[in-house]
Every structure is written in structure tokens, then in C-alpha cells.
Chains A and B, each alone.
Chain A
Amino acid sequence: MKAFTYERARTPAAAAAAVAGNKGAKFIAGGTNLLDLMKLEIETPTHLVDVQDLGLDRIEETKEGGLRIGTLVSNTALAADRRVRKDYGVLTRAIVAGASGQLRNKATTGGNLLQRTRCPYFYDTNQACNKRKPGSGCAAIGGFSRQLGVIGTSDSCIATHPSDMAIALRVLDAAVETVDASGKARSIVIGEFHRLPGNTPHLENVLQPGELITAVTLPKPIGGRHFYHKVRDRASYAFALVSVAAVLNEDGSGRAAFGGVAPRPWRVEAADAQMRSGAGAVAKTAFAEARPTHENAFKVALAERTLAALIAENRA
């Protein structure tokens, strides 16, 4: 871990200014991913701006009838919120499928969205990785890729986004609210928040330097039955091979997003339109552009079968 200076910001704009004005600065909230990466010198900030005192830790109702979730709301608090459990069950289910109780107590809403990939070649600084060191190549391609992406990947990077929470947010059409150093706020729909790697896999989202996530907003409840199924080799405390977040209606219509398969939560609205035709039709559309490796080709079939299980459960 490289040496760094540390400060606690008092307002969102001050935090944004502190980071925007310092090329080596980063925000820290829960720290569960950032410190992990700093120990390995995958992240090497020279200054940390701690945002824990910004008061962005409340969940409020919006005038549109949805919820505004402060960026510092812990994963545990978000999953446990009465309104979330009642109206956005897919979000609670996704969060409690991720990490461990200890990590969820510390991890924040904004931080969860900004998690970096768990690709083992990204984590091993001896290996080539375009995400960690642009232009160095991708050791994962042709390597151990069972956990890695099958769609939305590129010749530069086949990493996945590891978040469970984000998969649910994608299916709920959430939006990310930010503020920049000038105090200017904006809202980014979740589907446009994470970028695909292309030939710049080190750019993972659309945030500008110093831009701070202040909240995640959920539109008004969409009804339906809420499902999140995460498939992994052990029963808990592991990243997804494949996960499916789905909101299904009584008439068989609905929407689904997939985790563990792509560099961002994977949802294809045109595929949602096939829901009443069954999992096969949805998967065929959603994964039409899949280009898996020989080690992870099973993920496409697994995604279909997992969705099929949820559809069957919805019918039952």
C-alpha cells in the first residue's frame, strides 16, 4: 500500500472538490474493495477523502413514489429496509446473496456500484491486464476464464462486474445521482452507468474525475414477483457464476437482468419482451452476441436454466 494522506470531507461538494483538485485522490466510504486493492497496489491513491460524515445515509421516499437511497446506506441497511423488502424484494434478495454479513455491514450503496472486477488476472500484478495497466494485454484471454464474461467483453478484456446489487438495480431501472466539484448534480440511468470495455477497459463507468455518487433512486414500485437467484460453487460467500434478477408478472410477462456474465449488469429489453415465450427465447435474445471461452460457455445455458427455474417458480 502506497503512503497517502487522509481527510474527512464535510459536504458532498467539498468532497468532490477535494478529489477533483488532486489527481491522486480517491473517495473512500466502506473501503471493503478499495483497501483490498490498495494492499496489492492495484489502487494507489496518494490521498483519501473519507465521505462517511456526509449524512448521505438515509432512505427517503421520492415525490414520484419511489425511493432515494443515500450513497452511504450500508448494504445491510438497504436490504433490511421495510419499504425495499416490500416493494423491491429483488434488491433485498440480490444484496443478501452477496459477500458476507460483515462485508455488507460496511459496504455502501455507491461503493457497491464502483466495485472492481474479481478477475484473478486483474488481481495478480505480475500478469498482463489492460484494466489495471492499459496497453499491457489481457492474460485472462486464453487463461483460466471459467468465472469470466461471456458477453459484452472485448479483445482487451473479458472481466465481469462482480456486484449482485447492481443486477437488481438494473432490473428495477434505478438511476445514479451524482454531484461534481462545482456542486452540479446529475442523474444517470443505471443502464448507462457502467461502460463496456471496448479497448479502454480501465474506464468502467461514466463518472468524471471527482464526481461523487450521492444517491441511487428507484422508480415507483413495479409490482410483480421478485426473484434473485445466484448460482455459485459453494452455497454462500462466493461470486456468481451466473445470477438472475427477475421481476415476473402473473401473466408471465416480466423483466430479467443477468450477473456474472458481463462487464456490467446484463439486461436486454428486447429479450424481456420474450418473457412469456419462456427462458429459452429470452436467453436467445439476451445472449445472441455471446462470445464465451471454452471454459465458460456453460454460463449461457446456465443463465437460461436459472431463469427457467424462476419462471417455473412464478407459475407455481
Chain B
Amino acid sequence: MKFDTPAGTNPIDTMKVIGQAVDRVDGKLKTTGQAPYAYEHGEIPGKPAYGYIIGAAIAKGRIAAMNTAEAKRMPGVLAIVSAENAQPLGKGSMNTAKLLGGPVVEHYHQAVAVVVAESFEQARSAANAVRIEYERGAGRFDLVKEKPGAQPLTGNDADTHTGDFAGAFASAPVQVDQTYTTPDQNHAMMEPFATIAWWDADALSVWTSNQMIAWNKRELAATFKLPPEKVHVRSPFIGGGFGGKLFLRADAVMAALGAKACGRPVKIAMPRPLMLNNATHRPATIQRIRLGATRDGKLTAIGHESWSGDLPGGGPESATQQTKLLYAGANRLTALRLAELDLPEANAMRAPGEAPGLMALEIAIDEMAEKLGMDPVKFRVLNDTQVDPEHPERPFSQRNLVRCLEEGADRFGWNRRSAKPAQMREGRWLIGMGVAAAFRNNINMTSAARVRLAGDGVVTVETDMTDIGTGSYTIIAQTAAEMMGLPVEKVRVKLGDSSFPASAGSGGQWGANSATSGVYAACAKLRDMAAQSLGMDPASAEFSDGRVRAGNRSAALAEAAKAGELVAEETMQWGDLGKKFQQSTFGAHFVEVAVDSYTGETRVRRMLAVCAAGRILNPKTARSQVIGAMTMGVGGALMEELAVDKRFGFFVNHDLAGYEVPVHADIPHQDVVFLDEADDKVSPMKAKGVGELGLCGVGAAVANAVYNATGVRVRDYPITLHKYLAKLPAIA
């Protein structure tokens, strides 16, 4: 099925199941500990052995010698695999550094060997007995130092110029020209990278924890030089990803190497202290933003440049993405520059580009509003656009940013905010409110599904889509239920298996809309088959309450499969509506903070997000996506930072005690409002994503609230107290 014209009325519009706050269909499994994650599957051929990964002790250089003699003699040790004795590996297209390093070391904690033993304790102990000598090479670890040599990019990351930015900025009566920085960040998903791998002759099977099954299969095949059909990837439950599990990682490669070496299934969970340097991270950025405005508050010049770094051959953090589209203004400039760094591999983390980009842009907008003496909500409303500012012939498919801002301001009590900072006090606490716009594009990805109607009337959906906590199981069940006129209980959903049709996978907040559209397409086909089986006209058949009706005839849906199971498989593909219309999601974040005037400690007291993201498929799970993203946004604003040791080239705070993410006590009650929308240009579901939107702008809203509370503007994230302590009001 190809979606190339705006959706008309379709069965989803019934919204008997879709749009309802259905409890997660996998909720009982997850809350009772019965949902199996990668490391936990018992369905494997034989007793597993345990692998333990050894990470490189240097950031750059070579392994001079690896002595495994002592380790090999240790009890229970079955195999030690390193680049010295591993089969020659290919490299997938999506990783920058090799997943098995050595003798060349490309980054700190790059996997250089795996020890396999009868038990976890034996493998861990033997891994510590492998003696490795290194020759340390010179590396580049400091983005500030490498910034002058950073290079421009091409394609989607090329510079954009609209009008005459330089001239308009120079002549603007009101200007902001500031530089902001965001640090390296880690996904810190709760389930570590984990895989059980085994070989059956030349076929490789894995239970793993991965967001993108089809990518994983392809990359495993490339790495082990196998035809893709020889690779079976399963990942039915995933303990969080946030982009960290988009790609094949060392756990799967090392488990497969270990399994080959010892002829048994091998299970590996990557030790947490290894994960933060071994795996990918969101790279740090330096962002310069220049805004020019008229005295009455119209933006005339918008310039956003961003610098980030990655290993040679890597990519940039596209922090300027939203600046191309968020506000009106005739004269514009965006530019990305990429420096080479020898830190661990940079890559996507939840809302790549927009998350750090809005952290900077939405402070700059706050600064401009203040210079203009305008309310920051009104300033944003005044500079709204309904067309792509770089290509004014392209309207937005639907854009309700203004409503998000105005309705949010109303609900939040924004009128109680003092425009002048550092005016509101409660005892020793300084109180402030901040706002930021949220923006993230809608992306559609090809997505396929297979649906089966059995004689008992149960519909089973099979797709390799993943549920990383996003609620895929539930919204897919709702989609199939709506399409087939069934209650959710009559739908079974099977996910995360590479033997199922390839879906969009989970990333870029495209999963919900794309994967349910694939299920929609397959169900449309199944409806036709069911109607035909019942001798009804597919075009006029209606499916509801477990029955099919056409004209004056009616039959139970189950009847259609009486003679045998009906199976329909279909792929949703996308036309050019995404080119004709700019498809994006919008929101407004409001935050109230209290800052201790003595110690500088910041506490978030209230949070509200108002989101406009098309049809909300399940308000319960969608709301959870947004509050979770808001929580991550508080982390990014106030505490999260991978601390770089610029001498030795590694992230120093590489565990969950050192890399602080928010805990329960950091997060107040959170309010989320979804505007009632349905976007007919994006898909038959008329839905867009919310999982990344919820994060976009939160950091800046917190930052602006801290400024409003204290009068101290911090432009370097995270906003930790040492950056403003000295500028707080004097103490008694």
C-alpha cells in the first residue's frame, strides 16, 4: 500500500479502540517479571556459556601484546577470542569504529577480547587475568581545541542560506549573539547491552536487545560475512534504548564470536562500567546563535551554527535542524561543522539534533524576548510560521504551535511569572518560570506486517517492530482491533523477530505512526480477504463487534477463517506528501523551579507539556512517553554530562553513580495535554510521534526558569550550581 494522497475517512476514524487509554497489553508480564529480556531467554540449544568483554585501556594506539596464558589456565575457561584469533570480520555500514578492536585501538573501552567460561564468575575473573600491553598513540579529545579545523558537510547536513543573513543581522536594531554548549550525554537505558548467540552450522541466531531488527540482521550478516537469511535476530522485549540500541553493538558480535569458538550458546551482558565508553553517546556541541529583530519583535535574521566532533568517518550532531523550520524570518543561516575526535563513537540519542539544538535556540529566543521587553510566549507566537521558512511554497501539514503556547500559558498560570528575574522568593528559595517551544519532525519509514485471522476469531499480528517501552505492543493491538472490529483482547501481537515482515523499527519517533500504518495496510488486506471469504463485497463490508456486515448480511468475523487461517501481509510505503508538506510535531514546555539562594540547589517544582502531534493513538502510553522525555530533559538541563578526560581521552564518570540521571526525588507531578488533532497528510493513522517531541525544548525551559529565578544566565549545560553560585544574591 502506498500512502500518496491525504487520508480520507477510514476505519481508524471510528476510534472505538484507537485513541482510548488502553492499559499496556504487556503490562501484566512486565509487572510480574515474566517478560523475558535478551539475557533471559531459555529457548536456546543447550547449556549456555558466559562471555565477558575486555575493553581497551587506552583511547588511541595499538595493542603491543596480549598474554592470555594465565587466563586460559583458569577454571572453567572455554575460549578467549580477540582480533589475533577471530575470523576476519566484515564491518556493517552503520558503525564508525570496529566492534572488535585490535591491534589498532580506536577509542577507550573498545572491545578487544571476549573470555568465555562455564560461569559468569569464571569468565569475569579470567578476563581480569588477560594481560595486555599497549602502545599509547596521540589522540584528539578536546572539542574546543579541534573546533578551528572542523569541516562543513554535505547533503542534509549542508549549510543553508536564505535571503541575506549577514546584512539583516548587521542592520537589525535588536541583536542576540551568544554561544551555548551542550555536553556529551549517555542513553543510560536500564537494561545493559545483552545477547545470547549460537550457531547452527553456518547460521547465526541471537536473542538480543535492539531497536531495529532489520538493521541488526543486515549488520550481523555483514560482520560475519553471511547471507542475511542465515541470521535470525529476536528482541521481543527491550529494556530501553533511546537510540543507544539502534545499531549492532559489541555484545552481539562478541557473543557470536564466543559461541563459534566454544560451540555452545554464549550469553553476554555488557558490564555497566564498560558501557559508557564502549557504546555510542550523544556528542557535545558548541552552538553560536545570532538573532536579529525589529523593535516590535519580528525576527529578521536567524543564524545558527553548531560544532561537534566524532571519530574519523563519523557524523555531526545536527543541532541546527529545528532552526530551519521553527520561526519565521526572511534572512537565515544554518551551518554544521564536524571535527575529528578520538573519543568514543558519537551517534543518535533521543531526538538527535533537536534535543541539543533546542537547548541552545530556546535560550537564545528567551534572551531576545527579554531584550525586546516582550513576554517570551508572545514573542514566539508573533514569530510563528505556517510555511517552511526556507521554502515558503511548502506549507506545514498541520501546525498548532501557537495553540500549544497559549493554552499552556493559560493552564500553567504563566501570568504569575515576573518578567524581571530574581523577583519571586519563598523563604530562602528563589522561584522562576520558564517556557520553551518543542519541535521535532515527523518521519515516515517503510513498514510491513503480517496479520492472521484464525478460526477462533483471534487476530495475530507479526512484524519485526520493537517495543522499547514506547507501547508498540499496545498501539499495534489497538490498530488491528480497530481495523478488524475486535476488542483488544482478541488480538495477539508478536514483535521483534527477524522472521517477521520488516517494520520501521523504533527510532526517530517514527515507530508509532509508521508501524501502525504497516499494520493498517496488512489489516486492510485481511478485511478484503475476510469479506471475500464470507461472500461479501469488500468495499462495503463493515467490521465491528466481532462481526462483518455488508448490505443486509452479517457474520461473525471468525466465520471467515472457518475453512482455514487467513493470512495477509502488506507493506506501507510512502509517496511524496512529506515533500509537499512539512510534517512536524509541536509543543510547549512550561517549567517552574526553585533555587536555594544559599546553596544554589535547583528543584523542579512543576512541569507542563502541551503537545500537538496528530492523532494520539493511546493517550496513556503517549503521555508516558512525554513525561519520560520531560524527565530526561530535566536530566539534560541540570545534571547529565559525560566528563571528558582530555589527557587520556575517555569519559571518566562511566557508571550510573558517576553519570547522574534524574531520580524519583528530582521529578514532580507532570502534566501533559495533547491537542485534539488528526493529520491526514501523514498517514492513514493521522498520527505522528511524541516520544522525542517530549524531550525537545525541556532543557531550555528549565534553563529559562533558572534564569528567571536567579537572574543568572547559564549558557553551558548542564546547569550545575558551580556555574552560578558566585552570582547568587549575597547571603547573610
A241 → chain B closest CB, angstroms: 8
Q: Assess the B663–A234 pair: CB atoms within 8 A.
A: yes
Query: Once the chains are docked, how many angstroms separate the CA of A204 from the CA of B167?
Result: 65
Q: Assess the B125–A312 pair: CB atoms within 8 A.
A: no
Query: Once the chains are docked, how many angstroms separate the CA of A144 from the CA of B648?
Result: 11
The residue of chain A having its C-beta at the shortest distance from the C-beta of B109 within the complex is A126
Query: Once the chains are docked, how many angstroms separate the CA of A301 from the CA of B730?
Result: 12
Interface check B428, CB cutoff 8 A: yes
Q: Assess the B652–A118 pair: CB atoms within 8 A.
A: no
Give the chain A neighbours of B655 by CB distance below 8 A.
123
The residue of chain B having its C-beta at the shortest distance from the C-beta of A315 within the complex is B732
Q: Assess the A231–B599 pair: CB atoms within 8 A.
A: yes
A1-B124 contact in complex given A143-B645, A298-B722, C-beta closer than 8 Å: yes
A146-B599 contact in complex given A1-B124, A308-B731, A312-B732, C-beta closer than 8 Å: no
Interface check B69, CB cutoff 8 A: no
Q: Assess the A121–B128 pair: CB atoms within 8 A.
A: no
Query: Once the chains are docked, how many angstroms separate the CA of A16 from the CA of B643?
Result: 42
Q: Assess the B654–A41 pair: CB atoms within 8 A.
A: no
Query: Once the chains are docked, how many angstroms separate the CA of A231 from the CA of B595?
Result: 12
The residue of chain A having its C-beta at the shortest distance from the C-beta of B271 within the complex is A39
A238-B125 contact in complex given A123-B655, A298-B725, A302-B600, C-beta closer than 8 Å: no
Interface check A309, CB cutoff 8 A: yes
The residue of chain B having its C-beta at the shortest distance from the C-beta of A239 within the complex is B657
Q: Assess the A41–B128 pair: CB atoms within 8 A.
A: yes
Give the chain A neighbours of B652 by CB distance below 8 A.
120-121, 124, 143-144
Interface check B416, CB cutoff 8 A: no
Give the chain B neighbours of A305 by CB distance below 8 A.
598-600, 725, 731
Other-chain residue from A146, A232, A236 in contact with B722 (beta carbon distance below 8 A): A146
B557 → chain A closest CB, angstroms: 50
Chain B residue total in the interface (Cβ 8 A): 42
Query: Once the chains are docked, how many angstroms separate the CA of A279 from the CA of B599?
Result: 13
Please report which residues of chain A, range 275-308, place their CB below 8 angstroms from some CB of chain B when the two chains form the complex: 278-279, 298, 301-302, 305-306, 308
Please report which residues of chain B, range 426-445, place their CB below 8 angstroms from some CB of chain A when the two chains form the complex: 428
Interface check A28, CB cutoff 8 A: no
Q: Assess the B654–A124 pair: CB atoms within 8 A.
A: yes
Q: Assess the B598–A312 pair: CB atoms within 8 A.
A: yes
Interface check B420, CB cutoff 8 A: no
Q: Assess the A301–B726 pair: CB atoms within 8 A.
A: yes
Give the chain B neighbours of A279 by CB distance below 8 A.
731
Interface check A267, CB cutoff 8 A: no
Q: How large is the interface on A (under 10, 10 to 19, 20 to 34, 35 or more residues)?
A: 35 or more
The residue of chain A having its C-beta at the shortest distance from the C-beta of B652 within the complex is A144
Give the chain A neighbours of B726 by CB distance below 8 A.
298, 301
A238-B648 contact in complex given A123-B655, A305-B599, A309-B598, C-beta closer than 8 Å: no
Q: Assess the A144–B643 pair: CB atoms within 8 A.
A: yes
Interface check A155, CB cutoff 8 A: no
The residue of chain B having its C-beta at the shortest distance from the C-beta of A231 within the complex is B599
Interface check A40, CB cutoff 8 A: yes
Give the chain B neighbours of A233 by CB distance below 8 A.
638-639, 660, 718, 720-721
Give the chain B neighbours of A3 by CB distance below 8 A.
75, 125
Please report which residues of chain B, range 685-729, place their CB below 8 angstroms from some CB of chain A when the two chains form the complex: 718, 720-722, 725-726
A2-B125 contact in complex given A120-B652, A120-B658, A236-B663, C-beta closer than 8 Å: yes
Other-chain residue from B648, B653, B721 in contact with A302 (beta carbon distance below 8 A): B721
Give the chain A neighbours of B598 by CB distance below 8 A.
305-306, 308-309, 312
Give the chain A neighbours of B601 by CB distance below 8 A.
231-232
Other-chain residue from A121, A124, A234 in contact with B660 (beta carbon distance below 8 A): A234
Query: Once the chains are docked, how many angstroms separate the CA of A118 from the CA of B652?
Result: 12
A217 → chain B closest CB, angstroms: 31
Query: Once the chains are docked, how many angstroms separate the CA of A68 from the CA of B644?
Result: 45
Other-chain residue from A1, A120, A278, A309 in contact with B599 (beta carbon distance below 8 A): A309
Q: Assess the A127–B599 pair: CB atoms within 8 A.
A: no
The residue of chain B having its C-beta at the shortest distance from the C-beta of A128 within the complex is B648
Interface check B273, CB cutoff 8 A: yes
B633-660 interface bits toward A, Cβ cutoff 8 Å, 1 = contact, 0 = none:
0000011000111011000111101101
Give the chain A neighbours of B57 by CB distance below 8 A.
126
Interface check B40, CB cutoff 8 A: no
Q: Assess the A301–B725 pair: CB atoms within 8 A.
A: yes
Interface check A6, CB cutoff 8 A: no
B residues at A contact (CB < 8 Å): 57-58, 75, 121, 124-125, 128, 273, 428, 596, 598-601, 603, 638-639, 643-645, 647-648, 652-655, 657-658, 660, 662-666, 718, 720-722, 725-726, 731-732
Inter-chain pairs besides A143-B645, A231-B601, 13 sampled, C-beta below 8 Å: A123-B273, A123-B658, A139-B648, A143-B647, A144-B644, A144-B652, A144-B653, A231-B600, A233-B639, A233-B660, A236-B664, A302-B721, A305-B731
Question: Which 7 pairs, one residue from A and one from B, show the smallest C-beta to C-beta distance?
Answer: A309-B598, A298-B722, A235-B665, A126-B57, A236-B665, A144-B652, A144-B643
A-B contact pairs, 29 of them (CB 8 A): A3-B125, A40-B273, A120-B654, A124-B273, A126-B57, A127-B648, A143-B645, A143-B647, A143-B648, A143-B652, A144-B644, A144-B653, A229-B599, A231-B600, A231-B721, A232-B601, A235-B603, A236-B665, A238-B660, A298-B725, A301-B725, A302-B722, A302-B725, A305-B725, A306-B599, A309-B596, A309-B598, A309-B599, A312-B731
